[in-house]
Amino acid sequence: MLQKTVGSSIKSSSSCLSSLLLFRRNSHSRNGQVVEKKKQHDGLFLQKSKGQHLLTNTRILDAIVRSSDVRPTDTVLEIGPGTGNLTMKLLEAAQHVIAVELDKRMVEILRARVSDHALQHKLTIIQKDVLKTDFPEFDLVVANIPYNISSPLVAKLVYGSNTFRTATLLLQKEFSRRLLANPGDSDFNRLAVNVKLLADVKFVMDVSKREFVPPPKVDSSVVMITPKEVKPDVDVREWLAFTRTCFGKKNKTLGSMFRQKKKVMELLSLSEAGIATNASDVVEEQGDNRLLCLDTDASVFKERVIGILKSNGFEDKRPSKLSHGQLLRLLSLFNQAAIFFHSLPMDLHDY
Ligand SMILES: C[S@@+](CC[C@H](N)C(=O)[O-])C[C@H]1O[C@@H](n2cnc3c(N)ncnc32)[C@H](O)[C@@H]1O
């Protein structure tokens, strides 16, 4: 197993605390950076598979809390509190913190640390996998998340049922750049198009890998995600399946993408399945049921798909250059013509 060890032996809560409270007791500080000594690297195994890279620079922890705009009346959701370096700062700033942590050892350390400061009444710990947890109500999210679940976690926040003001997240730098990309940018992608349908994303700051224990291989960035107040009226499952189709090869024109035999056959069978679930909506919109007689002949079906692209000026367009408004219009034109993109319920990992 890929593991790193830190801290002295985790045998009692006090030894947990001495080992991991920003490594203060046996550490020295250089330019705000708390540096742990080698001798502390025994006892608690930090697991790469769980993304256990602890942020130890108090200056950066403070900057994250400041930029997240926490109010004293807020309940903050923290995902992956680890040993509580960020949690302690959030407990100072907010009314309440809900911390979701998978690792029992981290939970024990966090509980002991918070009790030592008599702040346990302000903290709720949920010891579970965040992707399998229904969140209680919260006002905002502030978290240094495990990078291996960035995509499904952002999807859970943005496409989930909780309403919140903002989510300030420390992410892998490359992932944050993908999230920040806009239509027309060379790196505009499916993640960005899906997140930005429902939220705005703002860059906050870069954080060097040197600020973590153990240092990850790559640098990180903080971004703030703000859900849009007005959300587009679209079937989310259709949208997500549509963008998966369009952004699979985002630099192809829509015309060449939808001329591929494989794509046509896929869309034909999805549309047959989709008609069963969407039939009443289509009939309502069209006023009759003519469009529900889907062409079972692939070549006729293909001509219909291309016809929609051609007559609406989309044939030569590349998905990465289209705005959300244009993509929504194209999806609506397809759906009105009983051409559907999804059949099965979506899973978080499909986003
Ligand atoms: C990057 S560390 C952050 C630790 C701490 N917030 C800090 O900044 O020092 C990520 C934390 O998330 C936890 N974690 C990993 N996968 C998780 C999951 N699926 N659900 C909840 N917590 C998870 C890890 O155990 C680890 O404590």
Q: What is the mean pLDDT of residues 212-233?
A: 95
Question: What whole-number distance in Å separates Cα of residue 245 and Cα of residue 255?
Answer: 13
Sequence-distant (6+) residues with CB within 8 A of 146 are 50, 51, 52, 80
User: What average pLDDT is seen over the chain?
Assistant: 83
Closest ligand 1 atom to Cα of 82 = 27
> Atom 13, ligand 1: which residue's CA is nearest?
80
CA of 222 to the centre of ligand 1 (A): 16
**Atom number in ligand 1 closest to CA 129:** 20
- Which residues lie across from 206 on neighbouring strands? 221
Q: Report which of 75, 79, 83 is spatially closest to residue 99, judged by C-alpha positions.
A: 79
User: What pTM, to 2 d.p., does this model score?
Assistant: 0.83
Q: In this structure, are residues 350 and 344 in contact, taking their beta carbons and an 8 Å threshold? A: no
pLDDT at 276: 56
Question: Which pLDDT value is given to residue 272?
Answer: 76
Q: DSSP characters for 177-230?
A: HHHH--TTSTT--HHHHHHHHHEEEEEEEEE-GGGEES--SS-EEEEEEEE-SS
Residue range 59-96, pLDDT digits in tens:
999 999 999 989 999 999 999 999 999 999 999 999 99
Nearest to 235 by CA among 133, 137, 336: 336
Q: Which residues face 236 on adjacent strands?
A: none
- The β-bridge partners of 168 are 142, 224
C-beta of residue 27 within 8 angstroms of C-beta of residue 34: yes
Share of the chain above pLDDT 90, in %: 65
pLDDT of 293 over the 60 cut: no
The C-alpha atoms of residue 341 and residue 247 are separated, in whole angstroms, by 13
Q: Identify the band that residue 22 occupies on the pLDDT scale cut at 50, 70 and 90.
A: very low
180-194 confidence digits (pLDDT tens): 999 888 788 999 999
Within 6 Å (CB) of ligand 1, which residues are found? Answer: 50-55, 80-82, 85-86, 100-103, 106, 129-131, 144, 146, 149
| Distance separating alpha carbons of residues 247 and 254, to the nearest angstrom | 10
Annotated binding residue 121: no
- Residue 171 CA, ligand 1 centroid: distance in Å: 12
Least confident of 3-12, 118-127, 183-192, 240-249: 3-12
Q: Which domains does the chain have, with CATH numbers?
A: 48-227 (3.40.50.150), 236-336 (1.10.8.480)
Cα 201 to averaged position of ligand 1 atoms, centre (Å): 22
Give the number of the atom of ligand 1 that is nearest the alpha carbon of residue 149: 19
What is residue 344's predicted lDDT score, i.e. its pLDDT?
55
**pLDDT higher than threshold 60 for residue 39:** no
Out of 103, 150, 156, mutate this one to test ligand 1's pocket (max ligand atoms within 8 Å of CB): namely 103
